[in-house]
Structure 1
Amino acid sequence: MTLFRGSGVALITPFDSNGINYEKLEELIYWHIERKTDAIIICGTTGETPTMTKDEKKKIIKFTVDKVKGRIPVIAGTGSNNTKETVDLSKHAQKVGADGLLLVTPYYNKTTQRGLIQHYRFIADRVDIPIVLYNVPGRTGLNMLPETVAELAKHPNIQGLKEASGDISQVAEIGRLCPEDFDIYSGNDDQIVPILSLGGKGVISVVANILPEETHNLVISYLDGEVIKSRDLQLSLNGLINSLFIETNPIPIKEAMNILGMEVGEVRLPLVKMETINRNILIDNLEELGLSTGRE
């Protein structure tokens, strides 16, 4: 069963001086549903989960599920480098009604490929909702090999992969080794079309935080056979996408949202406000797409 086709937004977490700004979060959730976002990923990398407490994660997952009310899938990022803690948070997400789980490869302790298989199977045996694996070696220091993905794809609860290695040849090998009903999602906004061309079902996206409809259209156009339209959308967005990663995500996307008047608050330490020179590059790319930045 495919969790979603199209654009899943890796939603930012709006913070204020009191913690998570739930009023703003509710506003963002409704805005995304209205603007064709196909799924909401809460507590992902872009949501700054390394700076959140376990209680904050549990509360924000339940809040998001309650506000979405089944209109689109909610996928909860519950992965960590602590297998038992991942199970605990994953069970909570299932209990409060999340539609699926996004589980990043264990970071810092850098297990072996055999360890990855045991880690994911241990979790998958203890939940009953779909799991999307998340491979992002630039963050974790660990690359999940295609053969490992193929072995994990045999488990009935492991139904997809967010692939953010940046290695298109690796994506092709995953597509070759895994069954056709195993869903691959781009984890890099600048590689959506290449991954769709290899059988991908969509993207878990950063840029969708500000351009949800455009990101949805990019994917759905390709899936509907309008390849040239999809390609042109990809190329038109790539300048902005590049500037959204000119500093560590989610620093630039939060800055972009604030520039556009969305008032989502600042990043939490150890992340810091964007450098002025990079902020100006970001503004230039927003303006190239006709977005109003308030700059004279």
Structure 2
Amino acid sequence: MNYSGVVVPAITPLEENGLLDEAAVERLWERFEQYGVDPFILGTTGEGPSLSLALKSAYIRLAGRLQTPRQRLFVGIGSACLEDSLALAFSAFEAGADAVVSTLPSYYALEVDDMRAYFLALADRVGGPLFIYNIPSTTHMSIPLSLVDELSGHPNIVGMKDSERGEERLFEALRRKPEGFCHLLGWSARSALALELGSNGLVPSSANLSPRLYRALYEAARAGQTEEAARLQKVSDALGEVYQKGRSLGASLAAMKAILAAKGICGPQMAPPLRAMAPPVGAASPLVLSQKDIDLINEWI
């Protein structure tokens, strides 16, 4: 299967009681379908590590029902427990998912041999296409590219979502990418560059705010329109700064939901331990936007 394109690491809309906000999920999916992007649920942006298995299962079932014939559905199954990851994978494929995505279990520091053994054990039993998810900012471990080379030979391991920062790593990953192995970039600031160098697609959290922007950036880069891709990269950088600059990862996700709440797409609720941020209304809000920020949001969201 061709996994290239824009994959949105979807937020998890929550009601005030902590349950899944199904109406908000439907609104998100309508926007994803409108702009031709694919959803990836239960990842970092989706607060996957903070959600109960029951809520994850409910999200998987709903995403499967909402999936259109055009869309591919990616489901995060990362867990500290191998059996829980497998249970989520089985549920995902039963619901119609096209691929599952797993980080390393991150409580214990792992040696390369541990990483290899874990992903092979997962891939042997997962029952469908599996993406390796490299995100050192949360797991505090980097999956070596030499190990990725080895794992790419497993028939169920079809690609890698790489969110590690560093151009040297990006250049090397794309230089040595095995034929038929999918590379998806989770580093928005290098989206245009990665596509120019041969990455298969993007997984930008800001696409929750503007799927239109990232579809346009992807199409421009794929068409060799380097000036337009560079222009849209600058828009992407500016949009990311609105909710990310000066904030931790968790706080930036809360700020993103606050912006989406102000636009009527979802509520601001977060899963503990993260806390909700009030929508940006007036100077009393913790998310104070400049007129330039407001104009950017109004143009692209």
Match of 1:76 in 2: 75
Q: Counterpart amino acid of 1:229?
A: E
Flag structure 2 segments of 5+ consecutive residues without an equivalent. Answer: 279-283
Match of 2:281 in 1: none
**Percentage of identical aligned residues:** 24
Question: Structure 1 residues 80, 290: closer, same or farther in 2, change over 3 A?
Answer: closer
Within-5 A mapping of 1:201-240:
201-240=200-239
- For the pair 1:286 / 2:293, whether they are aligned, the reply is yes
Match of 1:139 in 2: 138
Q: For residues 132-164 of structure 1, what are the alpha-carbon distances to aligned partners after superposition, in whole Å with 9 as ceiling and x for unaligned? A: 111110111111111111111111211111111
SS in 2 for 1:36: coil
Match of 1:31 in 2: 31
- C-alpha displacement at 1:262, in angstroms? 2.0
TM-score (norm 2): 0.90
How far, CA to CA, are the matches of 2:53 and 2:297 in structure 1? 40
- C-alpha displacement at 1:259, in angstroms? 2.4
Question: Structure 1 residues 164, 277: closer, same or farther in 2, change over 3 A?
Answer: farther
Q: For residues 113-142 of structure 1, what are the alpha-carbon distances to aligned partners after superposition, in whole Å with 9 as ceiling and x for unaligned? A: 111111111111113322111111011111
- C-alpha displacement at 1:203, in angstroms? 0.9
- For the pair 1:272 / 2:275, whether they are aligned, the reply is yes
- For the pair 1:158 / 2:161, whether they are aligned, the reply is no
Q: For residues 156-189 of structure 1, what are the alpha-carbon distances to aligned partners after superposition, in whole Å with 9 as ceiling and x for unaligned? A: 2111111111112112222233313211111121
Q: Counterpart amino acid of 1:238?
A: D
How far, CA to CA, are the matches of 1:244 and 1:155 in structure 2? 39
SS in 2 for 1:184: strand
Match of 1:250 in 2: 253
Match of 1:149 in 2: 148
After superposition, the CA RMSD in angstroms is 2.0
Match of 2:181 in 1: 182
Q: For residues 80-104 of structure 1, what are the alpha-carbon distances to aligned partners after superposition, in whole Å with 9 as ceiling and x for unaligned? A: 2222221121122112211101111
Question: Structure 1 residues 285, 87: closer, same or farther in 2, change over 3 A?
Answer: farther
Contact residue 132 and residue 161 of structure 1 kept, 8 A? yes
How far, CA to CA, are the matches of 1:285 and 1:179 in structure 2? 43
Contact residue 14 and residue 21 of structure 1 kept, 8 A? yes
Flag structure 1 segments of 5+ consecutive residues without an equivalent. Answer: none
- C-alpha displacement at 1:292, in angstroms? 7.2
SS in 2 for 1:280: coil
State the aligned residue count. Answer: 290
Question: Structure 1 residues 244, 156: closer, same or farther in 2, change over 3 A?
Answer: farther
